[in-house]
Structure 1
Amino acid sequence: MGPAGCAHVNGFKVDNWKQNLRLIYQCFVWSGTAESRKRKAKSCICHMCGAHLSRLHSCLYCVFFGCFTKKHIHEHAKTKRHNLAVDLLYGGIYCFVCQDYIYDKDMELIAKEEQRKHSCPNLERYSTWEPTKRELELLRHNPKRRKMTTNCTIGLRGLINLGNTCFMNCIVQALTHTPLLRDFFLSDRHKCEMQANSCLVCEMSQLFQEFYSGHRSPHIPFRLLHLVWTHARHLAGYEQQDAHEFLIAALDVLHRHCKGDDNGKKANNPNHCNCIIDQIFTGGLQSDVTCQVCHGVSTTIDPFWDISLDLPGSSTPFWPLSPGFDGSAVNGENHTTGATTLTDCLRRFTRPEHLGSGAKIKCSSCHSYQESTKQLTMKRLPIVACFHLKRFEHSAKLRRKITTYVSFPLELDMTPFMASSKESRMNGQYQQQVDSLNNDNKYSLFAVVNHQGTLESGHYTTFIRQHKDQWFKCDDAIITKASIKDVLDSEGYNYLYIYTYTVGMESIQTFFLITAHTAPILTEKHRIVDIFADLLTKKI
C-alpha cells in the first residue's frame, strides 16, 4: 500500500477546486495552441521581480506567480499561508509545509486530462505506460521474466585505483550500495550551502548518479580523492591508509555537510541530528557503571556510527565462549572447534567488566570512591550496523596484523545485546523478551570489506550484495561475481548489516534492492524516499 499522501491538500479541496485547478492547467501550464502560448508568455511573470524564468510557480489559492529559484513564491506562501503551488513548466504540485512536490491521485488525473486536451496537435503524443491487471498477472506467473529482473546489474561499476587508493574504493563501493543512502542521493535531497566544487556531499551525489547511470566502464574518482584530502588532511598522500579510518572520516564529513538537509525536523537519534548520515548510521550505546558496594547504577547513552570489536590473539585478553557452550549454531553462524564468531566478539563487547581498584569512581549514592563494573549494551540500533574488527594492533612494543578467522552470519539478530534484554534477564523475563523482540532486531549482511596482506603491505577489496542471493567482489576496477561461500570464507575487516523491518511477507531490504534498478527512470523519486523516511520513524 502506498502512503496516505500530503495532508495539506484537503485545505485546497473545497468548493470549485477542480474547476479552478483545470483553469490553471488550461491557461498557464499546458500550452498547445499559439494563442495559449502567447497568453502564457504575457501573463506568466514573477509578481515580485518580473522574471519569466527561474522556475515560475503559480499559487493555487490566489492569482500570484513567483520565482521558485529566488524564493519569491516561498515568501508569498509564508506571508499568505497558501501552502500549495503548481510548477508552470512541468505541472507538479509543491507543498510548502512538506517542502516537497507531492502526489495526489485526483490532482494527477486532472493534470493528465488537461495535458492530453491541450497538447500541441502537430507533435506525437507519448503517454506513460501503466500495466493492466492482465499484464501484472502475466509478469507474476512468468519465472523467466523474474529471472531477468534479478540478474540486473545496474549500480555495479569499478573504480580506478589512483595510487594506493583501494582503501577508499572499497568503502565507496559499500556506501553506494547502502540502500537508504543511495535513495537519498538519487532523489536530489541535498541542499548545498558551500562554495562550488568544495562540497563532499555534492561529489557523493554525483558519484551515485555515475554508478546508477548504466555505464559499465570503470569510474575515476579523482574529484572525490581531492575533496577527501581537503576535508580529512590526515588521509592525504599516496601512502596506503586504513579503510575503517576512511569510513569514519567520510561519515563525519558527510554528516557536517548534510546538516542543512534536515528541513528543521526533530532528530530521533542519540546524536541529536536529523541529517541522512545520522538517520542511517547512528545508534545509541548504553554504558552502565554499577557500584560494587551499594549496587547503584550510573547510566549514560552515547551515539556511535560503528562498533569496534577485539579479536582472539590480541594483547587484550579475549572473553571465552559462554560456559556450557555446545558448539551449535548461534545467530546463523557455524561454530567449528576453536573457531571465533562475530557473535562471540559481540558477547565480549557487551560483557560486564570489572574496572579494578585502580579505576575507582565516585558513587553518587555512597558519595565515596568505590570499585565498580561497567557493561556496554545497545540502547538504540541504527538502520545500518557497521562492525569493525581490530585486526591491526599498534603499541609501543608491537605492530602487527591479527589474521584470526572470524565466522559471520548472513542474518544477524541483535536481541541478546540490547539493553532491554539485559533488564529482562535481571527480572527473569528474558525468554519472553526474546520472543517479542526477535523480529525487531534482525539485520541482513550487504557488504564485507576485506584486507589481504600484512600491516605494511596489503590490499582492500569488498563483497557487496546486489540481490537477495547475488554477491559481487569489487577489486578496484574489476567486478566479478562471487558465491556466498566466497563471502563467508573471507577474512572480514568491516561488516555492514542493514535492518530488515518486515512488512507482511516482504522485507524492506528486498524493497530497497528492487528500487535500485528502477532509480534511473523514477518519476516519483521524492515520494518513494518519503516512504523510507516514514520507515525510519518506525525504527525502535
Structure 2
Amino acid sequence: MSDHGCIHLNNFKAAKGIQPYKVIHSFFVTSTSTEARVRKAVSCLCHTCKTYKDRLHSCLHCIFFGCYVKGHIQEHAKTKKHFLAVDLCYGNILCFQCGDYVYDRELLKVAKAQWSELAKSLSFGEFYRAWEPTQTEAELLRNHPRRRRVIENSTIGLRGLINLGNTCFVNCIVQALIHTPLLRDYFLADRHHCPQPSLCLVCEVSHLFQEFYSGNKAPLTLHKLLHLIWTHVRHLAGYEQQDAHEFFIATLDVLHKHCEATTILVKDNPHHCKCIIDQIFTGCLQSDVVCQACNGVSTTIDPFWDISLDLTSAASTSGSNTPGPPTSLLDCLEKFTRAEHLGSSAKIKCSNCETYQESTKQLTMKQLPIVAIFHLKRFEHFIIQDKIFKKKISTFISFPEQLDMTPFMSHRRNGNNNSAMLNGLSKNGEDMSFSDNRYSLFAVINHEGSLETGHYTAFIRQQRDQWFKCNDHLITRAKLKDVLTSEGYLLFYHKQILEYG
C-alpha cells in the first residue's frame, strides 16, 4: 500500500470530488443507517458471479460490484477503463493503474468520520461487530515493535488457577469467561472505567484478563474475585463445594449490575440493556400458550442467559407415547422446544375466550445470544417422605462441534404459515433470510465423580482448533475427540457470523 496517494485518484477527485467515495463508504462499508444495511444485504453481490464473498469491490466510476479473487473487478476495470475501485470490506481505494491500494488523507478522514457516526448510533458490541481495521491501520499494527505476535501453537492466554479448597467450580467458570472471544476483546481494549475499582467485580475481571495475557505462566490465585462474589452473593460464601452453573449465573448477575451505571435500556425490551454482559450472553425466549378451545395464543418474551435442558424422559403428550430420555444435545433442544400439553389440572384463563381451558405451551428461541450456553441438568433433586434426595445423571449426551440453532427459532418452530413467514419475514417485519444461526463450541465444563466427591474441570478452545484441559493449576493439551466424548455439564457455543443493525 502506498502512503503517498496516486495521480490517478487525484485526477478523479479533481473531476468528480469525494462524493462517490462518500456514498459507497456510507452505504456499503460502514452502512450507517438501517436503510443502508438493508441495501447492502440485498445489493452487495458480484455482478458477474452473484457471490458476496471473495473480496468484493465497488467500481468508483460506475455502479458495478465485482469480486477480486475471481478477477471480475479486474475484468471490469480493463473493459471499461474504470481503474479505481473501493474494497467493501475495509473501504480502501484500489488503483489498477498503480497496481496497489492507495492512501489518501482526505478520504481517510471521510472514512473515520463515518465510523464515528456509526459508533454513536450503536452499542459497543454492535459497533465491534461492524468494525474492522483499515488496511493502513492493520499494516501499522503488524509493524509495531511492541505488538505481541500470536503464532501457531502459541500458549498466550493460558494460565492455571490455584485451588483454594473446593474452588474448582470457580476456576472452571473463570477459564470459560476468559476464553469468551468478544469478552476478551472488550476487556483487553480497556473499555471499562470505574470510580470504585476496589468494590467492582468488572474491574477485577478486567485485571484477570490483563494477568492471563501478560505472558506470565505462573498459576493465579482468585482470592480477590472470590471475596467480591462472596460479598455480593452471600449464599455462595465459604469453602464448600458449590454448583458451577449456579456460580456462573451469580457471576454474570453481579457483572451485569456493576455495568449498570453505563447501561442504556433497549426500548422494546426493558429487561435487555446494552452492557457488555447482556450484549454477549442475553437471548430472548418466546413462550406461546395456545387455548385448546378457541386456539387463542398468548405470547410472552423473556430474556435468558442460558438454557437448562432436562435429561430425563419427556412427559407424555395427548395421543403419543412417552419418548425415552435424550441422548444428544439436539434431542434435548427438540424436547425443550416441543409443544407440551398442560393437562386438566393446570387450566389457564384464556384472554381470548375469557374462560378457563386446557392449553398447550411451547418455548422457542425468539432471539439468539452471541454466546449460547447450555446447562445439562445432571443434578436431580427429589423428595421421598419429606426427605430430600440428590442424584447425579451421568448419561452420556453427545454434542457437536458445530451447531445450527435455526430449527429451534420461533419463526421456524411454532408452525407460522402466514405470507410474511413464507417471504422470509418474522411477524415484526424482521428479515429472517439473512440471519445465520450457526455456532461453534469453544468451552465445555465437566463434573467428574459423584455428588459427594466430585471435581470440576474445563476444556477450552484457545485458538482455532487448539484445545486444552484446565484442571485447576494444571493445563494440558487435549484433542477434539476428548472434548466431544466428555460427560458435559455446561456447553459454551459462540456464533460463527456476527450480525448488527
* Fold match by TM threshold 0.5: yes
Q: TM-score range by the shorter chain?
A: 0.5 to 0.7
Q: Residue 156 and residue 295 in structure 1: after superposition, are their counterparts in 2 closer, same or farther (change >3 A)?
A: same
Q: Residue 178 and residue 389 in structure 1: after superposition, are their counterparts in 2 closer, same or farther (change >3 A)?
A: same
The question of whether the paired residues in 1 share the 8 Å contact of 2:192 and 2:203 is answered with yes
Following superposition, the deviation at residue 395 of structure 1 comes to 1.9
Query: In 2, distance between residues paired with 1:154 and 1:203?
Result: 20
Tell me the number of residue pairs that the alignment of Structure 1 and Structure 2 aligns: 368
Query: In 1, distance between residues paired with 2:370 and 2:456?
Result: 25
Q: Does 1:344 align with 2:344?
A: no
Query: In 1, distance between residues paired with 2:461 and 2:316?
Result: 31
Partner of 2:403: 412
The question of whether the paired residues in 1 share the 8 Å contact of 2:291 and 2:359 is answered with yes
Following superposition, the deviation at residue 495 of structure 1 comes to 0.3
Amino acid paired to 2:198: N
Following superposition, the deviation at residue 433 of structure 1 comes to 6.3
- Which deviates more from structure 2 when the two are superposed, residues 450-459 or residues 395-404? 395-404
Q: Does 1:494 align with 2:490?
A: yes
Partner of 1:452: 448
Following superposition, the deviation at residue 228 of structure 1 comes to 1.1
The question of whether the paired residues in 1 share the 8 Å contact of 2:326 and 2:332 is answered with no
Partner of 1:354: 341
Amino acid paired to 2:484: L
Partner of 1:175: 177
Q: Residue 404 and residue 129 in structure 1: after superposition, are their counterparts in 2 closer, same or farther (change >3 A)?
A: closer
Deviations 1:92-147 (A, max 9, x none): xx99x9599xx9x99x99xxxxxxxxxxxxxxxxx967569xxxxxxxxxxxxx9x
Amino acid paired to 1:405: F
Query: In 1, distance between residues paired with 2:275 and 2:479?
Result: 35
Q: Residue 184 and residue 425 in structure 1: after superposition, are their counterparts in 2 closer, same or farther (change >3 A)?
A: same
The question of whether the paired residues in 1 share the 8 Å contact of 2:447 and 2:454 is answered with yes
Q: Does 1:477 align with 2:468?
A: no
Query: In 1, distance between residues paired with 2:495 and 2:256?
Result: 20
Q: Does 1:236 align with 2:237?
A: yes
Query: In 2, distance between residues paired with 1:223 and 1:489?
Result: 34
Amino acid paired to 2:271: N
Aligned pair partner of 1:388 in 371, 375, 381: 375
Deviations 1:238-286 (A, max 9, x none): 1100000000000000000011234x47478673311111000000000
Amino acid paired to 1:465: R
Query: In 2, distance between residues paired with 1:5 and 1:347?
Result: 37
Partner of 2:53: none
**Unpaired runs of 5+ in structure 2?**
1-24, 34-108, 110-115, 125-130, 426-431
Q: TM-score, normalised by structure 1?
A: 0.61
Query: In 2, distance between residues paired with 1:275 and 1:130?
Result: 31
Following superposition, the deviation at residue 491 of structure 1 comes to 0.4
Amino acid paired to 1:388: H
Following superposition, the deviation at residue 183 of structure 1 comes to 1.1
The question of whether the paired residues in 2 share the 8 Å contact of 1:190 and 1:202 is answered with yes
Following superposition, the deviation at residue 187 of structure 1 comes to 1.4
Q: Residue 274 and residue 439 in structure 1: after superposition, are their counterparts in 2 closer, same or farther (change >3 A)?
A: closer
Which residues in structure 2 correspond to 1:15-30 (within 5 Å)?
none
Amino acid paired to 2:291: C
Deviations 1:305-338 (A, max 9, x none): 000000036xx6489xx99x9xxxxxxxxxxx99
Amino acid paired to 2:284: G
Deviations 1:13-59 (A, max 9, x none): xxxxxxxxxxxxxxxxxxxxxxxxxxxxxxxxxxxxxxxxxxxxxxx
Which residues in structure 2 correspond to 1:58-77 (within 5 Å)?
none
Partner of 1:114: none
Q: Residue 305 and residue 318 in structure 1: after superposition, are their counterparts in 2 closer, same or farther (change >3 A)?
A: farther
Partner of 1:310: 310
Q: Residue 180 and residue 3 in structure 1: after superposition, are their counterparts in 2 closer, same or farther (change >3 A)?
A: farther
Query: In 1, distance between residues paired with 2:346 and 2:325?
Result: 33
Deviations 1:157-186 (A, max 9, x none): 110001100000000000000011111111
Deviations 1:368-417 (A, max 9, x none): 11110000000000000000011001122331101010000000010111
User: Secondary structure at 1:271's aligned position in 2?
Assistant: strand
Partner of 1:55: none
Amino acid paired to 1:236: A
* Identical positions, percent: 60
The question of whether the paired residues in 2 share the 8 Å contact of 1:281 and 1:384 is answered with yes
Q: Residue 365 and residue 475 in structure 1: after superposition, are their counterparts in 2 closer, same or farther (change >3 A)?
A: same
Which residues in structure 2 correspond to 1:61-100 (within 5 Å)?
98=120
User: Secondary structure at 2:151's aligned position in 1?
Assistant: helix
